A and B are shown apart, each in its own frame.
Chain A
């Protein structure tokens, strides 16, 4: 008898253990599935983020580990930045500096033993708008290549890039920008003062006609005079070629471009600093979109425009949507249902393309084809009114009743009693409006006609169109990532409002 019982108990506990094991396994599979899906949803952004830092985002096959993110190369970029421009972050090449760059060349026994041919090459930004030709490091710097060591058949050569100062004068060094020249070369100091620039050496005089307006330069202030030390360079592009039979096996920074079976390496910038190395595309998005008229970065203007538009939309929505939503929720008046059906629900169903022509013509006649017209056009969002109506309907009536007993008028009741209670709904409204305005594309594309007026979305899409659809993906991806950052930050801070709002009104509505 006991034998049977024990057996049964054993079977039961066996069964329990089996169920527990099953439960654990199920949780495990669920986590695997969740992680795979998370990767699927985050994957495109992560790949975009990673590739936005590459020299060539179209690199094939795509690599996940890139030199721009390895500690070794980032620190070398930092050191080279300090050598060239005294700044580990910004890099660049400034007068009076010297930069050392090593290249290892393998020459097998039967191959030539010559030193590599090193040269600097010009770089003109491929940007949205043509900008004045900038001075190039290759016209000012001198190169010297010496062999420093040899292991086996691999020789290490050190190239020294020297950028001598154009003046012999010493004194306080000032950074300035060249101004429109008249008879003399002139420069605008950081203080805003425009001064005459003295070219005291033949070397300086030889270059005076090559320098164009708005070129950034270094001056020496000695006594009352300003002497030209030389232009400042953001980058130092360098190329290394070796003979047939030789190959380049290593260099201080990895090359941006390899050609000719590893016999020709191009370095986009040998004095990058961290910003110029890892975040080069981001820097380009800001620096290479200069508006020639104002000298301001177009990308920067787009960011500001987007923020301005989003701010205006949020402010208008918070005030007007809550007013309208409150009226629809709490007042009884003839035509209320009609207003709700017609102006709130119907409006949301009709596509905005219907109003395209009429609103375009109207705003054009008013001279409002800019951010203000855009704002005016979408002043009170029907969706926002709907959200606030739903919210106010859910609030207790007692609040208003006690306020009216205290003798408050409807506006006071709304402003002093109801609105302060509406915190969560207002936050939800504000973030949905911010997100909507920030991501808005159709109306900005229709209404904004000048590239200085664009919002980020329109500006970004113009990045892709300018290169015939082929696109400079370094710039596009960097711009895309930058423009996604504000909404992502807001999402991380206000996460639960994103997750709550829409779904609530859906189930109620």
Chain B
């Protein structure tokens, strides 16, 4: 870009034109800069200041050094929040990146009605996190749809497993037969699989009417998702079940947005690369791993960055679920900051500020590390 240097020797008219441009630009930027200064930079500075004081929302702040940071780091609930946030961010970002890539690949097919599917799949990301959290709370109740579906799966297990078994056997038989006729049939040949599926359905229907395979009687599956339950590794509580539900929910809502980024990236990959891969006889999986994934590195970088920034700040879901789940299982850094700011009585705002600064530092360093080590050369 062309940087004009105001100190360079230039005619007077040009210099005054430059200063005029600067004034106009500043006028244009004024509303943005003023509000950013007040509500961001001033607030940011004040948060840093508070984090070194004994401020509790009602007293006059007095500097007390790094004590708030020491308090925060010693606070078990902060440590839990930190662990929860990091685990949530890592697991969710991984899941949403993989799923959104796979979905984008699926949606990149040129078939009729693709616009409908794209809109339908996009639905979860337009509605608010509050609405979706409330719906998920309802789905994952003790006697909710999630448990109902698991009960149904248990009840229909014999039928489903028989169906799958017959399908696989028939498919293998068909492929072997086709190969004996010198036709290059793959193990997952779609046309043969359709026939196999049909045969499997008929076989299962016959078995069902003769009573050989039938629905099992099972007790209703009765799992409490929002209780103090943990997945531990070596005695260390790693991931709580309520947080796992939120991971599922967050992946569900963010995948469609991220999918769009991948979709845009996919459309800019030249088709000739796939044609070349086809000539070399690459399988769809090889094409995905050797063409699509490397070509999407810049987009992946962006998606992972956005994902990390978003997931580290997760707040809405925890606040909506509130007291419905034990605090330890769900508390995140963002929620820790919020609860400490609005604690009844004297709120440890200094600790809240210190925690907020820690959160900001983690996010900034994550983005920095990302940019430093994982960015593809094309992205620059």
Residue interface mask A226-246, B partner, CB < 8 A = 1 = 000000000000000000000
Asked whether A442 lies within 8 Å of B29 as measured between CB atoms, the reply is no
Q: Which of A243-277 contact B (CB under 8 A)?
A: none
Q: Which of B338-376 contact A (CB under 8 A)?
A: 338, 341-342, 349, 352-353, 356-357, 359-360, 363-364, 367
Q: Which of B40-85 contact A (CB under 8 A)?
A: 40, 42-44, 46-47, 50, 55, 57
Q: Which of A407-461 contact B (CB under 8 A)?
A: 410-411, 414, 435, 438-439, 441-442, 445-446, 457, 460-461
Asked whether B299 lies within 8 Å of A354 as measured between CB atoms, the reply is no
Known: A45-B135, A57-B138, A349-B364. A507 touches B265 (CB 8 A): yes
Residue interface mask B11-46, A partner, CB < 8 A = 1 = 000000010011011101101110110111011101
Answer yes or no: A350 CB below 8 A from chain B CBs. yes
Known: A323-B28, A353-B315. A483 touches B145 (CB 8 A): no
Q: Which of B241-257 contact A (CB under 8 A)?
A: 252, 256-257
Answer yes or no: A352 CB below 8 A from chain B CBs. yes
Asked whether A480 lies within 8 Å of B131 as measured between CB atoms, the reply is yes
Interchain CA distance A471-B135 in the complex, whole Å = 11
Interchain CA distance A287-B55 in the complex, whole Å = 43
Asked whether B126 lies within 8 Å of A435 as measured between CB atoms, the reply is yes
Asked whether B122 lies within 8 Å of A343 as measured between CB atoms, the reply is no
Answer yes or no: B203 CB below 8 A from chain A CBs. no
**Closest residue on chain B to residue A509 by CB atoms:** B302
Asked whether A350 lies within 8 Å of B360 as measured between CB atoms, the reply is yes
B115, B260, B334 pick with most chain A CB within 10 angstroms: B260
Known: A411-B24, A457-B130. A355 touches B43 (CB 8 A): yes
Answer yes or no: B120 CB below 8 A from chain A CBs. yes
Asked whether A351 lies within 8 Å of B313 as measured between CB atoms, the reply is yes
* A460 in complex: contacting residue of B130, B141, B257, CB < 8 Å: B130
Answer yes or no: A468 CB below 8 A from chain B CBs. yes
**Looking at the complex, which of A165-173, A196-204, A213-221, A375-383 is the stretch in contact with chain B?**
A375-383
Answer yes or no: B279 CB below 8 A from chain A CBs. no
Q: Which of A6-22 contact B (CB under 8 A)?
A: 15, 18, 21-22
Asked whether A324 lies within 8 Å of B28 as measured between CB atoms, the reply is yes
The interface residues of chain A lying within 8 Å CB-to-CB of B25 are: 327, 331, 333, 336
Residue interface mask A485-499, B partner, CB < 8 A = 1 = 001100110010011
Shortest distance from the beta carbon of A24 to any chain B beta carbon, whole Å? 7
Known: A353-B337, A507-B265. A442 touches B315 (CB 8 A): yes
A332, A347, A356 pick with most chain B CB within 10 angstroms: A356
Residue interface mask A462-493, B partner, CB < 8 A = 1 = 01110011110100110010011001100110
Asked whether A498 lies within 8 Å of B122 as measured between CB atoms, the reply is yes
Shortest distance from the beta carbon of A57 to any chain B beta carbon, whole Å? 7
**Looking at the complex, which of B166-174, B185-193, B205-213 is the stretch in contact with chain A?**
B185-193
Asked whether A469 lies within 8 Å of B338 as measured between CB atoms, the reply is no
Q: Which of B176-212 contact A (CB under 8 A)?
A: 183, 189-194
Interchain CA distance A17-B118 in the complex, whole Å = 32
Interchain CA distance A164-B357 in the complex, whole Å = 70
* B137 in complex: contacting residue of A323, A327, A464, CB < 8 Å: A464
Answer yes or no: A27 CB below 8 A from chain B CBs. yes
Interchain CA distance A48-B134 in the complex, whole Å = 10
Known: A357-B352, A380-B36. A42 touches B257 (CB 8 A): no
Answer yes or no: B128 CB below 8 A from chain A CBs. yes
Answer yes or no: A359 CB below 8 A from chain B CBs. yes
Asked whether A468 lies within 8 Å of B134 as measured between CB atoms, the reply is no
**Looking at the complex, which of A58-66, A85-93, A125-133, A290-298 is the stretch in contact with chain B?**
A58-66
Known: A48-B135, A350-B363, A477-B135. A15 touches B127 (CB 8 A): no
Asked whether A358 lies within 8 Å of B119 as measured between CB atoms, the reply is no
The interface residues of chain B lying within 8 Å CB-to-CB of A438 are: 128
Shortest distance from the beta carbon of A268 to any chain B beta carbon, whole Å? 20
Asked whether A487 lies within 8 Å of B127 as measured between CB atoms, the reply is yes
A351, A410, A495 pick with most chain B CB within 10 angstroms: A351
Asked whether A339 lies within 8 Å of B260 as measured between CB atoms, the reply is no
Shortest distance from the beta carbon of B165 to any chain A beta carbon, whole Å? 20
Residue interface mask B127-154, A partner, CB < 8 A = 1 = 1111110111111010111001001000
Answer yes or no: A328 CB below 8 A from chain B CBs. yes
Known: A323-B32, A465-B322. A357 touches B119 (CB 8 A): no
The 7 closest A-B pairs by CB, nearest first: A469-B324, A439-B128, A503-B264, A25-B191, A358-B43, A327-B28, A355-B43
Interface CB pairs A-B, < 8 A, 8: A34-B117, A62-B145, A323-B28, A324-B31, A347-B36, A351-B363, A476-B134, A503-B263
